[in-house]
Every structure is written in C-alpha cells, then in structure tokens.
Amino acid sequence: MKRLTGILVSAVMLASSVFPAFPGARVGAADAGTGKYNYAEALQKSMFFYECQQAGPLPDWNRVSWRTDSTMKDFIQGGWYDAGDHVKFNLPMAYSAAVIAWGLYQYGDDIKSTGQREIVERNLEFVLDYFVDCDLGDEVVYQVGNGQEDHTWWGAVDMLETKLDIEGKSRPYYTTTDSAVCGEMAAALAAGYCALKGSSANADSYLEHAENIFKLADATRSDAAYNNSDAQGFYQSRSFYDDLFFAANWLYMATGEQSYLDKAKSYIPSLGKELGSDELKYSWTLCWDDVQQGGMLLYAINTGDSAYKEQVRKQLDYMTTGYNGNSVKKLEGGLAYIDTWGCLRYACSAGFIAAVATDTLFKDDAKKDTYTDFYETQINYCLGDNPLDKSYVVGFGKNPPVNVHHRSAHGSWKNAEDTPVTNRHTLYGALVGGPNGDGSYEDDRGNYINNEVACDYNAGFTALLCKMCSKYGGEGIESFPVKETPDGPEYYVEAMIKQLSGSGVSLSLKFTNKTAWPARYEDNLSYRYYVDVTEVIEKGFKPEDVVVRIDRDQSAMYAECKQAEITDHLVHYKDNIYYIEVKYPDGRVVIPTEEGRYQCETMAALVFPDYQSGWDALNDYSNGDLLDASGNALEDGVMTDKITVYKNGVLIYGTEPDGTTAGEVTEPTDTDLKGDVNLDGRFTTADVVEMCKYLVKETELKSKAFKNGDLTEDGILNVFDLILMKRSLLK
C-alpha cells in the first residue's frame, strides 16, 4: 500500500527461457479412462486448504470467507501456517511447495482442462514469493513464530496479532544458513521455476534466489544451529545431504548446468543407508525430513543411469510386491502403512513417486500395471475406497472428517479445544493423518496423530491428484466454495438479573464476541437494555429521575483500551419505553481469544426515584427472557435478542421493542463494495471518516479495505479517492 503523504493537510481539510530437454521428464497426453472419483474436485479443494493456511495480507483470489489478513507485523509477511497452529516453519513448508511444484511440472499441461492449473499456479506463487523475501542475501529467515509459545494458545490466527499486541509481545523470527532448511527452500524455488517458467513473471526471481540459497546451504553443510533452535521440538532435521541432493537435481533441471548434476553425484555416498548395511535406503518414502527418494528418482531421470533406475525400482517393489524379502505393511484396502503419525501423507507421497517413476523410467516396464495399481490404490483409499467407506479429506466424499485438529477451523472463542463441540468451519480439502495400524479411526479433534492436518500432509496428496487429473480428467465444482454463514449471532449480550426488588433491579450484562467469519473485533459497537417506566410516571416522577448506577465496568480493567461509554440516565426510545446504552469505542475490550476476554461485563442497577417501592420488572421489554413464568429471575445468564446490538449506531442483532429487527446475523466484514473502507458492508459517511484517519496515519487499512477505497484504481489512496467518495455520497 502506498500513501501520498504530501497532500495530507488538504485531505484533512476535505475530511473532509525454454526448459532444458530431459528425456522422460514430462508425460504426454492424458490417458483415457474413468476414475473412481472426481479428482479435479479433490484437487480444487486441496488447494482451498492451502488458502486457509495463508499468512499475511490475503490475495484477492483467496476463496476462504472466514479468513482475513493476519500476522501483518511478521518480519516476513506471507507464507503458510504450518498445520493447525500459527507458526511458519520453512522446512516442511518448502518441502510442500517443492512437491506441489513437481506435480505441476510433471502433469501441469494435462490438468488445464480441469480448470485447476491456474489455481495450483497462484497458490504455488504465493508461497514461493515468501521464500524469495526470506532470502536476506547472506542468510535466510527459516521460521517466523515460536512453536513453544504458539502451542499454548488455542484460537483463530486472525486474532493472534491482537492478542500479542495486548500482551506487549511480538512474533520472533529466526535466521540461518544451515543446510537442510536452506537446501529445501532452494529445491522449492528451483522446482517452482521449472513449473512456472513461461506462466509466471516471477519465475526468473525464483531461480536467482534458489541458486543463492543453495550456495549458502552447500557451504555450511551442517544443521547444528537449526537443530538447536525452537524448530528442534517440531521439525528437527536428521540429515541434510538428502536436501542438497534434491535441490541440486532441481537446479540442474532448471539451468541445464552440469555442475549441479556433479554436485548431486557428490552427495550420494552421504545419503541414507538401510539399517546395518551400505545399501542406499529404499524402505522409506518422500517426506518433509527425507527427500532422498525424490532426489533419487530425479537423478535417475536426469542421468539415465541404469544403476539408479534400479535403485528407484527397489523402492517401488518394496511398496508393492516386496524387495529382497521385505515389503511395507499394508492395511486392509491396500494402504501402504509406512508410519503411524500421519500415515496417509506417506502413502500419498509414495504413490506420487510411483506415478512419476511409472510415467518416466518404467513406462514400458513389465511391472507398470503393478506400480499403477499401487498409486491409484493410495489416492482412492484417501478419498473413500477403504473398509470404513469414508473419505479422509474434509468436505469431500462420504462421511468425511469434521473435527480436525485445527485452531482456526475450530473457531473457539475461549482458548478451549473442547468448545465448541463441533468445528465451526469446513476446512475443505485437508487430508487428515489417517487410520490407526488396525484400520480404525475416530474423528476426534484431540487426537492429533490421526486427525491433525498440515501443509506437508497435503503435499504428496496434491501432487498425486495432479497425476490423477492428468489421467482421468474431471471438473471442479463451479459453485465452490459456497460462502459460509455464521452459526448464530456473533455479537450479543448474555444477561442475568442479579437482584430484583420493589425499588429496582440490578443486572449483569455481558457483551459477548463469538466472531468467526472471520474472528475479529470491531470498534464502535454498542447495546441497549430497555425498560418501561409507566409505573414511574404514574407515581409522579420523570423518567430522568430513575437512578442509573454502574457497579462494574470490566472495560476499565484494560489500560491499553479506551473504556466503555455508559449512559448515566435513561434515554427515551418511544412512548414510555427508555433504555440505557453501553458503547465500546474500542473493540479490543471484547475479543474472542480466551475465557476472560470474549465477554465484557457491565453491572448496572436501575433504582426507583427516592428508593420508593413500585418497580415493575415484568413490563420491561429486555427482561422478557430473563424471568420465569412466575416473574422470578433465572439463575443463569441468557442470550437474549431483546437487548439489541449496534455497530456505528446501526442495528446488527436483536429486535427493538417496536419490532424493528436486524434480520440476518452479523455479516462478515470482508466485502468488495467500492467505498466501503470500514468493511461493514455499506458505503456511508463513516467510510469517509475512516479514510481521513488513514490519510493522517491514525489507522492502518486491511488489503480489502485499501482496494475498496481506491476509487481511482491507481494503486494509491489519497485525497482524490476521498473527493470521489464525497461526491458519490452527495450524488
């Protein structure tokens, strides 16, 4: 965002190259046939999951209606949040980007007809642009956010920065030249260059940074610093030569320079071995911490060396018919059960390796059908072809998971993994960890081994879906995604009568924020509690004689926030109906982050003039849900629509005494309305005020607000946009 600072005073007054040819590196036209599932829909939704993981300012094409800009103060904006948490771990992120890039490179030409290529490309660009920004020249940023601290809080990422600001904290970042994470970032950027050359204006930049980061990784040849950091407890690196090997192969494919292939060859003696032997490892698969099998496949393709082709065959045979008396464990239904934690991610990446190998090294091999059956079995198991007859992909197929281990999708307002019971958002396309070793599975949010989701879980899954779309075609869902609507009022008052007598009433009024579309706070909210003062007037008093006493104002506890504005007298509504109003100029006094902050309590008392007797609580409109049939106060707080909620004075929840209603619950604020700078779904004078505050640097604007305010469509917000706003409002 740009500002034209030279005219702020007047603004206030107005306030007034071609790929190297490597035989067999790409497949040809899509095979004919009919698949068991609509793989294009699955791919479409898998990419939606990555959009749910986007950090920083969300791009205009982001399709997630319940997300907004987040962690805008990160040292490096952008990238993907790792899993159900909010840390940006570059090692698994780079692995994920590299594998998705590989799928696009290998099968991209053949998925155009499904309508998904552009979606994959733009999501890939999003994360590669982040890696470019992480390259500081002589070192790289490899992590943003502290995992230990992050995992102490269970809430939506859209509120994380607000929470940290209030606590006086900021997110740390970490830099290194260590080999595994730098090698993997170089691999992702080089693979991205190969996949996007000719379609992305940033492709050359990806290659430039890939080469620089690779130099750092190759020169360091250590993971000591990385493994002694916060990353150790989450994504410790057990080797780095596999990452260098993987990256060197991709750089050779990107540049055609023999030096990179020579580098790759030099790493082979240091690669992983089978336990107790000098034989290169084959009984594992491609994953975030071990890309040796991927690098070996690329090396065999790049060199055409029959010895390394046979090394690839060992892995394929181990996964299928067995090799040297050894084979992977198979569950009923054919799933390769490679590891307990997140078993489906391993099965999919093994399937992807088998698909690429079959289409390149073994396309005329006698075992082609065996290898083909293997990779199709893995993807189909995930999508529903399994003994439980269920999909393991959120929002896809039959009986998919619902309560995945993901903070933002869960939507808790009180830092509680068990509240609410059911996830509030559908995390479309997320592949869960998968079944246990006996084939059982429980849709339990607390079971992060089987029900967590992560960027690396979806990587091999996404790449293999590219293959399946290439082979079987299919189409994405035209109407996807359907915009989510809130599961109830996002703002309301939970009220309870604490004491009731003939002389008056005392109340607990808890203004409540359960926003999740997106999770947010908003300034200038207010609510009204209504009473009927007929009995006061009949005794010869005036409504303004009623004593309004404030016994507690929770907002006053928060020194960093402007406290509530509470009327100290009754305000006339209509006829004999009056109200007291509580206004919150600063929305941070009630935020959906934890038990003590998602509600802000005001305790008020209304007392008959001169403490006389005669107060009638039964005729007071806002008490309609707070009393039982006998007129006794209920013992628990009640959410009532008879205490109405407003934003900037406009009714957004509840029904006023005369029947005026807000209708639908609060609309999400992420709108596309020109002029709507405060993102309330309308274009009013309030937007002019917000624009002026921006121009004099009193506030910042989200990316959507900036776009809405740019009426001149020149990429700048200045006085000329302000003039157009005023002219439009004045018609």
Angle between helix 719-730 and helix 685-695 axes, rounded to 10 deg:
170
Task: Give the residue from 287, 351, 250 showing the smallest Cα distance to 359.
Answer: 351
Asked whether the CA dihedral 191, 193, 197, 200 is positive or negative, the reply is positive
The residue from 82, 359, 452, 676 that is catalytic is 452
Strand order in the sheet with 140-144: 88-89, 140-144, 173-176
Do residues 484 and 425 make contact, with C-beta atoms less than 8 angstroms apart? yes
The residue from 218, 242, 376, 405 that is catalytic is 405
Do residues 290 and 272 make contact, with C-beta atoms less than 8 angstroms apart? yes
Which residues, in sequence order, are CB contacts of 371 under 8 Å at separation 6+? 316, 320, 354, 357, 358, 362, 365
The residue from 109, 139, 149, 443 that is catalytic is 443
Cα end-to-end span (Å), the chain: 28
Angle between helix 292-303 and helix 306-319 axes, rounded to 10 deg:
140
Count of alpha carbons within 13 Å of 618, Cβ hemisphere only?
A: 7
Do residues 509 and 531 make contact, with C-beta atoms less than 8 angstroms apart? no
The residue from 85, 218, 242, 620 that is catalytic is 85
SS3 state at 274 = coil
721 catalytic? Reply is no
667 catalytic? Reply is no
Rounded Cα distance, 161 and 153, in Å = 12
| Residue for token pair 């489906």 | 344
Asked whether the CA dihedral 401, 407, 413, 416 is positive or negative, the reply is positive
SS3 state at 175 = strand
Count of alpha carbons within 13 Å of 12, Cβ hemisphere only?
A: 8
The residue type at 390: K
Angle at CA of residue 194, ends 189 and 198, nearest 5°: 115
Task: Give the residue from 123, 99, 94 showing the smallest Cα distance to 200.
Answer: 123
405 catalytic? Reply is yes
Task: Give the residue from 473, 411, 365, 420 showing the smallest Cα distance to 116.
Answer: 473
85 catalytic? Reply is yes
Name the residues annotated as catalytic: 85, 405, 443, 452
